[in-house]
Amino acid sequence: MRITLTRSGGFAGILPPPVTLDTAALPRGVARHIEELVASADFFNLPDTLAAPTRQPDRLQFTVRIVNDDGREHTVTCDEEVASEPLLELVRTVQKATRK
């Protein structure tokens, strides 16, 4: 499973380069955690856009693209305020795993 994460907004308003990871290259435990989060976020059934009705100042926005090993892929752009806890945890985990 390959995951690409793009972040924008937040107090810093930064547009850092997107980060990508392949769960095959991760320690087994981390990979399994990510797969579980993708499942519990019901990622492949989420709409393309999850937008907050009114944005709270300085909140983050992120775009997650996942390509499964079977070729299935999906991209979700989400405002932090309306993200589910598993989706937020997925973003945190990808960020941590890709941090240099």
Partner 1 sequence: MRKHILTHWGHLHVGCPVCTIIPSHMLRHLAQHGPDNLRERMLQTLQHSERLRGQRDMLAYLGAVALATPTGTRRRTIYDLAHGTRLPGKRVRGEGDPRSKDRQVNEAYDFSGATYDFFKQVFERNSVDGNGMRLDSSVHYSFDYDNAFWNGAQMVYGDGDGVIFERFTKSLEVVGHELTHGVTQFEAALAYHDQPGALNESFSDVFGALTKQWKLKQTADKADWLIGAGLLAKGVNGVAIRSMKAPGTAYDDPRLGKDPQPAQMKDYFKGSADNGGVHINSGIPNHAFYLVASTLGGNAWDRAGRIWYDTLTNMIGPNTTFKQAANATVRSAGVLFGSGSKEQKAVTSAWKQVGVIK
Question: Using CB under 8 A as the criterion, which residues of the chain lie in contact with partner 1 when the complex forms?
Answer: 8-17, 54-61, 85, 88, 92, 95-96, 99-100
Positive/negative CA dihedral, 76, 4, 26, 16: negative
Q: Which is nearer to partner 1, 10 or 27 (CB)?
A: 10
The minimum distance between CB 69 and partner 1, in angstroms, equals 28
Q: How far apart are CA 100 and CA 50, in angstroms?
A: 29
- CA nearest to 29, candidates 85, 99, 87, 97: 97
The minimum distance between CB 86 and partner 1, in angstroms, equals 13
The minimum distance between CB 59 and partner 1, in angstroms, equals 5
